[in-house]
Structure 1
Amino acid sequence: MDRVGAPPRDGASGDAPPPPGPPETLTILLVEDDDADALLVTELLSRAGVLADMHRARRVTEALSILDDIRVDCLLLDLGLPDAVGLGALETVVAHVEALSVPPAVVVLTGDTAITAGTWAVASGADDYLVKGEVDGDRLGRALRYAILRRRSAAQQLALYRSEVRAAETMRLERALLPEAVVRDDRISLMVGYLPGGSGLLGGDFFDTVERPDGTLMIVVGDVAGHGPDEAALGASMRTAWRTLVLSGADPGEILPLMERVLLPERHGPEVFVTICQVVVTPGRDAMDVYLAGHMSPLLATRTGDGDGVECTQVTVSTRGRALGIPARGGWEPSRVELPGSWTVVLFTDGLVEAKVTGTDGSTAPDAHDRPPRLGVSGLRSVVASELARGSHDVVPRVLRRVRTLHGGPLADDAALLLAGWDTDADAGPAERTSTLADSTEWGRA
């Protein structure tokens, strides 16, 4: 049936304003086998000023087929059809409508004048009920508009509820990536942070710190390739596996091979891999072994000779291993790094170094393809050094905010940052322990 409609009638008084309704043209499916009644409905809608893209079906089966092909705002249903009569027709239509991604409103239009008929129709899933012989254009238009608005309001409430549930699930997964460290030595400072990317999708970044009974300090940062709940759940599993192996007393050199054995059956596809940086600090705090599995080596920050500045360098390693899950030969050997008297080791994931420098604070010229440059490891070193020079208090959120500012908004990828430090001054008191999950409203506006 061709599109019909007419502009709103003039002369509407201020005492009786027309019912509110969406201004756009509405897509309406009329399920009516009587040609005269179908023509009457079309005329009534035109008189009511309803701009409608009309479609018609003469049977319930035909109506269901149309609903599968096009998106309908409202379905006008006669209860006396050749292939279904009474509430049976309504129940069939409602069951089909509720299974659609965007369910249309359902208004019953019938000749049944029984008082209870409307109650039963609404109880069976209709949004409204009208008697053919008792309806005019205004009443039909009003019922149609209100039914559509009620249906859309219900859809919005459902979407809001689902969004809140997803947000709660996301929070639980993110907090699984922000564990409570198991470190007894109160001279070890530990400051960690996790910054979700701006896409709204979870990533698989994870980190953890455990001190063994002999004083060995074990630190890990890892990144599961990809984004989404599967990757986030795998990241949490990897962190749990690492902590379990550390607490069980596994040799540091055996941890990465055993984690790969956990990864292979847990990942959802052969293309998924995990990069890891594992640091093992000796009980004397004078050396550390660095294990790299496709990950960037950590930074090492120390005070300058005058004590007023901070020097931050990337640790030079002699061996690098492949990422976990990559089908290639080779294992993971440690690189021994000597540590000075006081130090801070900085572990991070690539969400930080891949940030684009678009702000004025430390930005550089675009590259040859007119793209903003990446922050890179050198840029992160500079940010960490300058923020540590201002003091260790809240250094992780300060670094994350600084990188975010340079990027000009939310980062494209999740970012994890872990700073573990040691001070030779035994009289300095307990070292700082902080954790930051950048999920607050304040971070969302920043």
Structure 2
Amino acid sequence: MTTTLDETLTLLLVEDDAGDAFLVEELLMQAEAPPRITWVRSLEETKAQLGPQIQCVLVDLSLPDATGLEALEHVLDLAPHAAVLVLTGLRDVHVGVAAVQAGAQDYLVKQDVDARLLARAIRYAMERKRADLAQRRLVEAELTAKENARLENGLLPVPLLRTRELRHATRYLPGSQGQRLAGDFLDTVQTPDGSVHVIVGDVCGHGPDEAALGVALRIAWRTLVLAGQTGDLLLRTLDTLLRAERRAPEIFTTLCMATIAPDLASARMRVAGHPPPVLVRDGVVEVVEGAPSGPPLGIFPDAQWAVLDVPLGERWSMMLYTDGLIEAAVGGELLGVEGLVELVRLHGAIDIDRLIGEVGTLKDDLAAVIVSRGET
């Protein structure tokens, strides 16, 4: 009667006794799909043979250069993704139990091993290892999700907005790359003089490092605005922070910030290498002329940004956004700024949810702030 293993496995047998090694190999050769076996006699030889191709390790705990749990610990460290089966003698059953407690998937008493028991033990050990790895990935995913949520809370602040004359909306959506976290950030703050300050920014790249940098820049911007710092001095301060906090010198940040006057009838903008804001004024859809007004942060240490003075009037809507919106494909082509303006004209207003519905899947992340006054 042949013994069945579900797949052709690659095994490492760590056994210094030639007779015991021969017995294990003979038993495994009775399987319907005999595994590929590499036999080593010591822990030193084990180090040279262990690699990602090894799916299961059968290890004797009485080796010439390591004994007991010391040998097992070395094997577990060297092969974290392999199932480990411990071979022990009748007098060392308690050692086998301790080995399982230390991280081995199972143990076998050499005197009790037959072909069927050995094949079943290997199969079960493989399944236990898969379950252990899956559980570990689940725990890691839960920890990552908690960290992501903490960072996302930093990227998506509660606006400090007192006036009821403005309608305010934000959107933050991940792109199709699957990364929940990116460097896009946004914020809105109204200062005691009644001015409304808005920012949307984009740290190049994706991942927790970029997200953390985006959080740092957003919090710094809010702090500086509340402290009364504005204009080029504010941007140069953010540029200094970016250079100090970024993990690589090629990391840069684009952003658009607007200060809406206390009477809500005009705005002053600086656009640092960022897509131009879209405006709807008295039914006319356009982009802010002169944008960008200067380079991104983190490129030129002596950069300057021109001031863009924008009259708004009594009825208007303004959208600041990251390039995830204009880099989306519509009809097989990138939307672009002109395409975005045409869509807003077609809709008759800045309706961010409808815009997102029109462009479909976003290739890159999107952060957007829409501020409106009156009916537009």
1:276 corresponds to: 255
Partner-residue secondary structure (3-state), 1:350: coil
Q: Which whole-Å CA distance do the structure 1 matches of 2:64 and 2:225 have between them?
A: 72
Instruction: Indicate conservation of the 8 Å contact 1:351/1:413, yes or no.
Output: yes
Q: Which whole-Å CA distance do the structure 2 matches of 1:100 and 1:138 have between them?
A: 25
Summarize the alignment of residues 10-409 of structure 1 with structure 2, pairs less than 5 Å apart. Answer: 23-67=6-50, 69-85=51-67, 87=68, 90-98=69-77, 100-102=79-81, 104-113=82-91, 115-201=93-179, 202-304=181-283, 311-317=284-290, 320-327=293-300, 329-357=302-330, 363=331, 372-387=332-347, 389=349, 395-403=351-359, 405=360, 409=361
CA deviation after TM superposition for structure 1 residue 64, in Å: 2.4
Q: Which whole-Å CA distance do the structure 2 matches of 1:328 and 1:114 have between them?
A: 69
CA deviation after TM superposition for structure 1 residue 318, in Å: 7.4
Post-superposition Cα deviations, 1:63-105, rounded to whole Å, max 9, x if no partner, equal: 12211x44322111223332234x1xx4323344245452x22
Post-superposition Cα deviations, 1:244-281, rounded to whole Å, max 9, x if no partner, equal: 11111123342212211222211122211111111111
Q: Which whole-Å CA distance do the structure 2 matches of 1:274 and 1:124 have between them?
A: 48
Q: Which whole-Å CA distance do the structure 2 matches of 1:192 and 1:31 have between them?
A: 60
CA deviation after TM superposition for structure 1 residue 35, in Å: 2.5
Post-superposition Cα deviations, 1:305-324, rounded to whole Å, max 9, x if no partner, equal: xxxxxx42111127711111
Partner-residue secondary structure (3-state), 2:329: coil
Partner-residue secondary structure (3-state), 2:296: coil
Taking a change above 3 Å as real, the CA distance of residues 35 and 190 of structure 1, as seen in their structure-2 partners, is: same
Q: Which whole-Å CA distance do the structure 1 matches of 2:102 and 2:211 have between them?
A: 42
Instruction: Indicate conservation of the 8 Å contact 2:199/2:256, yes or no.
Output: yes
Q: Which whole-Å CA distance do the structure 1 matches of 2:93 and 2:240 have between them?
A: 69
CA deviation after TM superposition for structure 1 residue 59, in Å: 1.1
Instruction: Indicate conservation of the 8 Å contact 2:272/2:292, yes or no.
Output: no
Taking a change above 3 Å as real, the CA distance of residues 281 and 126 of structure 1, as seen in their structure-2 partners, is: closer
User: AA paired with 2:298?
Assistant: G
Matched, 1:420 2:371: yes
Taking a change above 3 Å as real, the CA distance of residues 323 and 122 of structure 1, as seen in their structure-2 partners, is: closer
Instruction: Indicate conservation of the 8 Å contact 2:202/2:255, yes or no.
Output: yes
Partner-residue secondary structure (3-state), 1:148: helix
% identical aligned pairs: 41
Instruction: Indicate conservation of the 8 Å contact 1:210/1:218, yes or no.
Output: yes
Any stretches of 5+ residues in structure 1 without a counterpart?
1-7, 11-17, 305-310, 358-362, 364-371, 426-446
TM-score (norm 1): 0.78
Taking a change above 3 Å as real, the CA distance of residues 291 and 185 of structure 1, as seen in their structure-2 partners, is: same
Q: Which whole-Å CA distance do the structure 2 matches of 1:318 and 1:398 have between them?
A: 25
Taking a change above 3 Å as real, the CA distance of residues 280 and 118 of structure 1, as seen in their structure-2 partners, is: closer
Q: Which whole-Å CA distance do the structure 1 matches of 2:312 and 2:99 have between them?
A: 78
Taking a change above 3 Å as real, the CA distance of residues 327 and 37 of structure 1, as seen in their structure-2 partners, is: same
User: AA paired with 1:414?
Assistant: D
1:5 corresponds to: none
Q: Which whole-Å CA distance do the structure 2 matches of 1:124 and 1:285 have between them?
A: 67
Q: Which whole-Å CA distance do the structure 2 matches of 1:318 and 1:128 have between them?
A: 66
Taking a change above 3 Å as real, the CA distance of residues 254 and 328 of structure 1, as seen in their structure-2 partners, is: closer
User: AA paired with 1:155?
Assistant: L
CA deviation after TM superposition for structure 1 residue 109, in Å: 2.1
Taking a change above 3 Å as real, the CA distance of residues 424 and 375 of structure 1, as seen in their structure-2 partners, is: closer
Q: Which whole-Å CA distance do the structure 2 matches of 1:243 and 1:120 have between them?
A: 56
Q: Which whole-Å CA distance do the structure 1 matches of 2:336 and 2:291 have between them?
A: 21
Instruction: Indicate conservation of the 8 Å contact 1:196/1:413, yes or no.
Output: yes
Taking a change above 3 Å as real, the CA distance of residues 231 and 267 of structure 1, as seen in their structure-2 partners, is: same
Q: How many residues align?
A: 375
Q: Which whole-Å CA distance do the structure 1 matches of 2:263 and 2:159 have between them?
A: 20
